[in-house]
Amino acid sequence: MNREAFITCAVTGAADTVDKHPAIPVTPQQIAEAAISAAKAGAAIAHVHVRDPETGKGSRKVELYREVLERVRDSGVDVIVNMTAGMGGDVTFGEGENPLPLDETGTDMVGPLERLAHVEALKPEICTLDCGSMIFGEGNYVMVNTPDMLRTKARRVQALGVKPELEVFDTGHLWFVKQMVKEGLIDGAPMIQLCMGIPYGAPANLNTFMGMVNELPEAAIWSSFAISRMQMPWVAASVLAGGNVRVGLEDNLYLDKGVHASNEHLVERAREILVRLGVTVLNPAETRSKLGLQGP
């Protein structure tokens, strides 16, 4: 059991959830305010995607990330900003017997360094690396992260001095994490996020979860989350298995059945679960020390 845990709040994501929730953060101001509110509620880390303010769709624009980061830092509220670097690896194939040409409306595929443009420009304390490819839900969409792409991204993140959070959606991704550690592409203790329940990655069940936990690299500092109704049960499961936790509107839209959540309330609920389990919830300064971060 992990008796000193930090909470990450994934405040918005990039999925098509705007029409499913009345208050998904969309604009940079809304995303920054969500991160600040989550921090006040007990989150040490805010995991940040940005969205096109006009359409609500996920975006890679550096200026949107810049505005979020500046608003968070200008607020005076301390929180570790963890920017996604997963955008730009989206491929949607055509229907039926015609997989080519690709469906341009769902495809955003660029080079590995272009996917890091905002990390290069802003140097957040943490950025994510999705550590493999996978069928991501129903339909014809594939999340693409080849070994060469990932090595290129890992080397650049390493040179920038940004801590990579290694996103593991399935067992093969964890295999590649250990390969990158072996190759010296990850400095210090690996920071790993076990992402459970996303179709069709690792399912959110304890047998699969503990199999992955038992295969983590030695000295890894790790968190885990599960999506939708499993989000809060996973807060307890993760810390009992020795990890840290993640909640937020990226992964789950509801606080209770039929009750839309806010990021702040999800963090409050997670914090209550941890405290009732006898866990000390770490603040940003304590989390930086645990992760070996230098601060903004």
Predicted pLDDT of residue 294: 84
The DSSP annotation for the chain comes to --SEE-EEEE---SSS-GGGSTT---SHHHHHHHHHHHHHHT-SEEEE-EE-TTT--EE--HHHHHHHHHHHHHTT---EEEE---TTEEEEPPSTT---S--GGG-EE--TTGGGHHHHHH--SEEEEE-S-EE-SSTTEEE---HHHHHHHHHHHHHHTPEEEEEE-SHHHHHHHHHHHHTT-S-SSPEEEEEES-TTSS-S-HHHHHHHHTTSPTT-EEEEEE-GGGHHHHHHHHHHTT-EEEESTTT--EEETTEE--HHHHHHHHHHHHHHTTPEEP-HHHHHHHHT----
Give the model confidence (pLDDT) of 48-61 as tens digits: 999 999 999 999 99
**Does residue 70 lie within any of the structural domains?**
yes
**Does residue 296 lie within any of the structural domains?**
no
**Does residue 147 lie within any of the structural domains?**
yes
**Vertex 254 angle, CA 248 and 258, to 5°:** 175
Backbone φ and ψ for 205, nearest 5 degrees, come out as -130, 155
Residue 272's domain spans which residues?
Answer: 4-291
Predicted pLDDT of residue 296: 77
Calpha distance 247→127 (Å, rounded): 17
Predicted pLDDT of residue 150: 97
CA-closest candidate to residue 234, choices 265, 259, 270: 270
Predicted pLDDT of residue 110: 96
Q: What is the mean pLDDT of each run of 10 residues along the chain (296 residues)?
A: 97 92 96 98 98 95 98 97 95 94 92 97 97 92 96 98 97 97 96 97 97 95 97 98 98 94 97 98 98 87
Predicted pLDDT of residue 137: 86
Predicted pLDDT of residue 295: 74
What order do you get walking across the sheet with 134-135 strand by strand? 108-109, 89-92, 141-143, 134-135
- Tokens at residue 109, please? 């595929």
Give the model confidence (pLDDT) of 125-146 as tens digits: 999 999 999 998 889 999 999 9
Q: Domain with 235 in it: what CATH number? A: 3.20.20.70
Predicted pLDDT of residue 77: 97
- How many domains does one find in the chain? 1
138: left (phi over 0), alpha (psi -120 to 50) or beta: beta
Predicted pLDDT of residue 66: 98
**Does residue 174 lie within any of the structural domains?**
yes
